[in-house]
């Protein structure tokens, strides 16, 4: 490991393959740094939306960056590789790497992209992998491109990305660190120069270490969440308060104030669950049994059941009971249902026979038809809770904190308030004549 030279940012011609949640942010932010960026996506509808200056998903600040850079002529979108790759000094790969049923990362989008760029690469181009890929993938990618085009002179660099949805623009512009893995140092420093950063740590290393840093970072965050959820489940046995436990832990500088110690119904999203399972798969494939990582997955998969356990305290069974769920997304102030623990909890409620009424303030974006067919989607929280026996806060959207709890209570048949994100002050909820249950906030009865 070493520090990359920090210097003046070069202005370069870039091509970003894949203009999804991470690729669109990467393309727009790199254009904002002054580079000329052409982003390629096979999804033509997505390209049309992006060309009109809008992101095809909710991400604060991104629309402005896209439209500003389109207008400045620095950013373009296409579905044609031939329009974008031949002139590019850097080709960034930001395609999806979703999980297969075994947990293994599905690299078919990445290999398809590599096959398509290979014959079009400019001399001395640098292929930069932004997608999260298993250890060893970049070395294989270099071989694949070489076989597809033996005349190509190129280098492959791993430059994993650490964006959080909902904070993606800010995370790109003020990264905690920039990680660059390369087989040859020159290619790595060329990539570092794209960022031209002088005040953020740049870690220049080999390909495999860079790949592992990305998985280790997400596995560490996931560990922290499963850890605090386990502590919360223990807290509930004794009437102890996990919020104060977390506060006390965070005061230890070795843990820190921004640690992932908010207990709830588990972590979801397109990355933490998928990357953890992919790391488990990679370890097992190479003959190592990752006992701790497996346990983190197990704790997380169990956690949505806490919602059912809370309800069982009040109701002998849930058959035909109307239950309101506030929130669908995997976390607050975003709309992404991939591996959402809120959706997992809804499926548990449905399996127990409950009639589920749902409100998510950002659900004007697409809700999958399969889910929509099984629940009643409501236009607001007050409609959702009408006649319900319980309300479950499943996502910590900040607008929920402004709800009129009295009004909510008056619309319901029974006063059961399950705060599966510990987003509310229990005393305030109780003042509105609700019976409050959080996660690890003093319910003695639960599993
Ligand atoms: P996504 O599904 O939102 O976007 C992927 C895009 O790639 C889609 O628009 C798809 O049409 C396009 N695509 C697929 N195959 C293509 C091909 N051959 N050529 C051109 N375009 C193609 O996925 P995402 O969330 O942006 O994730 C992409 C990668 O970034 C994943 O490896 C993920 O783990 C990683 N990542 C994502 C985030 C995040 O905040 N979402 C953060 C860090 C890392
Ligand atoms: C996560 C990482 O935070 C990013 O650094 C990384 O780049 C990204 O995955 C990725 O690789 O794609 P993201 O998926 O946007 O980002 O979500 P987070 O904000 O990290 O939250 C993940 C899940 O954990 C959510 O379901 C959230 O509600 C939950 N969470 C988070 C908790 O339950 N408790 C916490 O204390 C923190």
Q: How would DSSP label each residue in 217-266?
A: HHHHHHHHHHHHHHHHHHHHHHT-BHHHHHHHHHTSTTT-TTSS---SS-
- Do the beta carbons of residue 345 and residue 304 sit within 8 Å? yes
Q: How far is the CA of 27 from the centre of ligand 1 (A)?
A: 12
> What percent of the chain is predicted at pLDDT more than 90?
94
pLDDT over threshold 50, residue 7: no
- Do the beta carbons of residue 436 and residue 410 sit within 8 Å? no
SS3 assignment, position 325: strand
Of 116-130, 289-303, 357-371, least confident by mean pLDDT is: 357-371
What is this structure's pTM? 0.95
Average pLDDT (91-119) is 97
- The CA distance from 125 to 356, in Å, is 53
Question: How confident is the model over 377-398, as pLDDT tens digits?
Answer: 999 999 999 999 999 999 999 9
Q: From the CA of 421, give the closest atom in ligand 2.
A: 33
pLDDT computed for residue 442 by the predictor: 77
Q: How far is the CA of 373 from the centre of ligand 2 (A)?
A: 28
pLDDT computed for residue 197 by the predictor: 80
Q: Is 350 exposed, middle or buried (0-12, 13-18, 19+ CB in 10 A)?
A: middle
- The CA distance from 369 to 388, in Å, is 23
Pocket of ligand 2 (CB under 6 A): 132, 161-165, 218, 221, 225, 260-262, 264, 267-269, 271-272, 330-331
pLDDT computed for residue 9 by the predictor: 61
Q: 4 or 233: which carries more pLDDT confidence?
A: 233
Residue nearest to atom 23 of ligand 2 (CA): 267
Question: How confident is the model over 126-156, as pLDDT tens digits?
Answer: 999 999 999 999 999 999 999 999 999 999 9
pLDDT over threshold 60, residue 57: yes
Q: From the CA of 164, give the closest atom in ligand 1.
A: 40
- With a 6 Å cutoff on the Cβ, whether 18 touches ligand 1 is yes
- With a 6 Å cutoff on the Cβ, whether 17 touches ligand 1 is yes
- Residue 364's pLDDT band, with cuts at 50, 70 and 90, is confident
Q: How far is the CA of 113 from the centre of ligand 2 (A)?
A: 27
- Nearest-ligand number for the alpha carbon of 40: 1
Q: 7 or 34: which carries more pLDDT confidence?
A: 34
* C-alpha distance from residue 2 to each of 211, 247, 347, 398 (Å): 16, 35, 48, 41
Q: How far is the CA of 270 from the centre of ligand 1 (A)?
A: 10
Q: From the CA of 116, give the closest atom in ligand 1.
A: 18
Average pLDDT (216-222) is 98
Question: How confident is the model over 276-288, as pLDDT tens digits?
Answer: 999 999 999 999 9
> What percent of the chain is predicted at pLDDT more than 70?
97
pLDDT computed for residue 6 by the predictor: 41
Q: Judge whether 378 counts as a catalytic residue.
A: no
- With a 6 Å cutoff on the Cβ, whether 55 touches ligand 1 is no
pLDDT computed for residue 447 by the predictor: 43
CB within 8 Å of 21: residues ≥ 6 apart: 57, 59, 163, 165, 168, 270, 336
**CA of residue 164 relative to chain centroid, distance:** 6
Residue nearest to atom 3 of ligand 1 (CA): 20
Q: Of 162, 152, 148, 94, whose CA–CA distance to 126 is shortest? A: 152
The tokens describing 267, both together, are: 């972590």
- Nearest-ligand number for the alpha carbon of 46: 1
- With a 6 Å cutoff on the Cβ, whether 336 touches ligand 1 is no
pLDDT computed for residue 24 by the predictor: 98
Average pLDDT (156-164) is 97
SS3 assignment, position 105: strand
Mean pLDDT across the chain? 95
Instruction: Check 15, 38, 271, 388 and give the catalytic one.
Output: 271
Q: E-assigned strands of 2-74?
A: 2-3, 13-17, 36-40
Residue nearest to atom 38 of ligand 1 (CA): 22
Entry field: residues in the chain: 447
Angle at 171 (CA atoms; ends 168, 172), nearest 5 degrees: 85
């Amino acid at each position: 490991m070493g520090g990359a030279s920090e210097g003046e940012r070069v202005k370069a011609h870039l091509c970003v393959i894949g203009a999804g949640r991470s690729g669109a942010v990467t393309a727009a932010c790199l254009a904002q740094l002054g580079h000329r960026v052409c982003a390629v996506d096979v999804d033509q509808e997505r390209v049309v939306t992006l060309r009109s200056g809008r992101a095809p998903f909710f991400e604060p600040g991104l629309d402005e960056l896209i439209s500003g850079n389109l207008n400045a002529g620095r950013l373009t979108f296409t579905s044609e590789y031939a329009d974008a790759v031949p002139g590019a000094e850097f080709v960034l790969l930001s395609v999806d790497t979703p999980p297969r049923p075994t947990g293994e990362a599905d690299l078919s989008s990445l290999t398809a992209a590599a096959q398509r760029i290979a014959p079009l690469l400019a001399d001395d181009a640098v292929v930069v992998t932004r997608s999260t890929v298993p250890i060893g993938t970049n070395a294989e990618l270099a071989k694949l491109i070489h076989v597809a085009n033996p005349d190509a002179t190129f280098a492959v660099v791993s430059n994993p990305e650490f964006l959080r949805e909902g904070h993606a623009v800010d995370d790109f512009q003020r990264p905690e660190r920039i990680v660059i893995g390369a087989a040859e140092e020159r290619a790595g420093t060329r990539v570092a120069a794209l960022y031209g950063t002088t005040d953020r740590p740049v870690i220049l290393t080999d390909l495999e270490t860079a790949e592992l840093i990305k998985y280790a970072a997400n596995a560490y965050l996931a560990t922290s969440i499963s850890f605090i959820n386990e502590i919360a489940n223990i807290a509930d046995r004794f009437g102890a308060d996990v919020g104060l436990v977390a506060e006390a832990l965070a005061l230890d500088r070795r843990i820190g104030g921004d640690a992932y110690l908010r207990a709830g119904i588990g972590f979801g999203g397109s990355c933490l669950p998928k990357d953890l399972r992919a790391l488990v798969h990679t370890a097992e494939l190479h003959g190592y049994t990752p006992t701790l990582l497996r346990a983190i997955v197990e704790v997380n998969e169990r956690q949505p059941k806490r919602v059912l356990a809370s309800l069982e305290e009040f109701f002998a069974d849930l058959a035909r009971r109307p239950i309101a769920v506030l929130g669908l997304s995997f976390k607050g102030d975003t709309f992404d249902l991939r591996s959402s623990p809120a959706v997992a909890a809804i499926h548990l409620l449905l399996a127990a026979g409950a009639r589920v009424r749902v409100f998510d303030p950002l659900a004007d974006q697409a809700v999958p038809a399969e889910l929509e067919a099984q629940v009643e989607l409501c236009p607001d929280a007050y409609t959702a809770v009408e006649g319900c026996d319980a309300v479950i806060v499943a996502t910590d959207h900040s607008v929920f904190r402004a709800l009129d709890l009295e009004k909510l209570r008056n619309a319901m048949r029974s006063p059961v308030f399950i705060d599966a994100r510990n987003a509310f002050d229990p005393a305030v909820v109780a003042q509105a004549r609700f019976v409050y249950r959080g996660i690890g906030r003093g319910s003695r009865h639960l599993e």
